[in-house]
Amino acid sequence: MAAMNVGTYAFQLVAARLLGPSQYGAVAGMMALLMVLSVVQLGLQATAARRIAAAPEDVAAIEQTVLTATWRAALVLGALAVAASPAVWWLLRLDGLLPAVLLGLCVVPVTVMGGQAGVLQGERRWLPLSMMYLSVGLPRVLLGGGCLLVSATEASAMVGVLAASWLPVLIGTWVLRGRRADAIVTAHDRAVRRDVRRETAGSSLALLAFVALSSLDVVVARNVLDDHQAGLYAGGLIVTKAVLFLPQFAVVILFPSMSTAGESRAAVLRGLAFLTGLGAACVAGAYLLSDLALVFVGGDEYADVQSKLWLFACLGGLLSVLQLLVYAGLAKRGRWTKYLVTLGVVAMLAAGALATSVTGLAVTVAIVDVVVVVLLVALQVFRGKRGTETLQTAA
């Protein structure tokens, strides 16, 4: 996953350097929308991983349901995204319609990967899952960077992303090639499959809220700031995404443990301690080594945002903690998690629309993130106390 995130970051770095602030702002906006559009991928992965880890006796029914639903959802979402490409073209002020169409097509392989990865994660098959993650980041920078070298345009960037997105799907299909859909289906299996579909819908809504909160600020920037400032904000978000995705492996590894009764509380505490410490170190590094951080953002063209890179690192640290708390809520099938994060999205969009500068928008997003993190921590404490009281009553 570290290699995947380095590759994803490297693609953003190459795009930022070859396109410049104005065009890179459009590409960053499309990548943010891709995260939002691929939210069902995250829901499928979380549901498959949680259910397989918590109920291994139902693994056959769960896997068959997830893998079948994955392809159906991918094709439907891809068709809807392509149909909505004129709206994306207008929203992000793209150079043409083609980049928006390519963005819609990317939704198909990205969604399929989610279901496949969830099966492997739930079974804790870390080696094949690692192969899939490796095939996400490295091909993106190689194919995406190659396309940009041929033609430094928004469309070329998305062609590279689309081509690279199919490689992990091919690997997942090969790894799971022995799965068969012709097993005898019992009444219990049918009940499990209905519950899996319901949980997938609920998980997707919660993760949609998180992805929106972590991604839509660049879309807000594209609409409330001029092209140059929006590009500077997108450049700063390279640091944010690096800090967010750097420790993502911790969430992936801890999630099966968070889904089991005996390991849940300890897993959440370990995750919070690790992510908080790492986030603080990244903020300090971005502040003390801002010259070096600027090189990785995109160079001198982004010099105006250099003094603010520590703030963008802070955003990444907050989002990494928030991501862990969202998955902790999903592990217990909590309903309030998605409501609190959704309120955060509404607050961010409303307050962000009033921003007039890069710093103003970044500070606004940081304040919203802090409030949501505090509310989710309070929810975890309340849930833990209620669970303890239930155990004592049973005893």
What the block records as the tokens of 115 is 């279901």
The DSSP-derived string for 75-120 is: HHHHHHHHHTHHHHHHHHT-S-SHHHHHHHHHHHHHHHHHHHHHHH
Cα(2)–Cα(132) distance, rounded to whole angstroms? 12
**pLDDT score at 370:** 94
The tens digit of pLDDT for each residue in 12-56 reads 878 888 887 767 778 878 887 887 787 788 788 888 887 787 666
DSSP secondary structure letter of residue 184: P
**pLDDT score at 6:** 78
Confidence of residue 391 (pLDDT cuts 50, 70, 90): very low
Q: If you average pLDDT over residues 192-202, what whole number do you get?
A: 71
**pLDDT score at 58:** 65
Cα(144)–Cα(158) distance, rounded to whole angstroms? 7
Confidence of residue 395 (pLDDT cuts 50, 70, 90): very low
- Percent of the chain at pLDDT exceeding 70: 89
Q: If you average pLDDT over residues 318-332, what whole number do you get?
A: 88
Residue 385 pLDDT greater than 80, yes or no = no
Q: If you average pLDDT over residues 190-213, what whole number do you get?
A: 76
**pLDDT score at 182:** 47
The tens digit of pLDDT for each residue in 43-89 reads 888 888 877 876 666 677 777 777 888 888 899 999 999 999 898 88
The tens digit of pLDDT for each residue in 233-249 reads 888 888 898 888 888 78
Cα(106)–Cα(101) distance, rounded to whole angstroms? 9
**pLDDT score at 219:** 81
Confidence of residue 261 (pLDDT cuts 50, 70, 90): low
Contact indicator for 179, 62 with CB cutoff of 8 Å: no
**pLDDT score at 57:** 66
**pLDDT score at 193:** 65
Q: If you average pLDDT over residues 160-183, what whole number do you get?
A: 82
**pLDDT score at 86:** 92
What the block records as the tokens of 233 is 């904000």
Cα(101)–Cα(117) distance, rounded to whole angstroms? 26
Contact indicator for 19, 27 with CB cutoff of 8 Å: yes
Contact indicator for 254, 267 with CB cutoff of 8 Å: yes
**pLDDT score at 178:** 67
Phi then psi for residue 115, to 5 deg, are -65, -40
Cα(390)–Cα(394) distance, rounded to whole angstroms? 6
Question: Euclidean distance between the first and final Cα of the chain, in Å?
Answer: 42
What the block records as the tokens of 113 is 């990967």
Confidence of residue 184 (pLDDT cuts 50, 70, 90): very low
**pLDDT score at 389:** 47
The tens digit of pLDDT for each residue in 105-142 reads 999 999 999 889 988 888 888 899 999 989 988 888 88
pTM score, whole prediction: 0.70
As to burial, measured by CB atoms within 10 angstroms (0-12 exposed, 13-18 middle, 19+ buried), residue 17 is: middle
The DSSP-derived string for 156-181 is: HHHHHHHHHHHHHHHHHHHHTTT--S
Confidence of residue 292 (pLDDT cuts 50, 70, 90): confident
**pLDDT score at 72:** 86
Q: What is the mean pLDDT of the chain?
A: 83
**pLDDT score at 188:** 54
Domain ranges of the chain: 2-394
Contact indicator for 42, 114 with CB cutoff of 8 Å: yes
**pLDDT score at 343:** 93
**pLDDT score at 392:** 45
**pLDDT score at 367:** 94
Low-confidence winner among 68-77, 164-173, 290-299, 346-355 (lowest mean pLDDT): 290-299
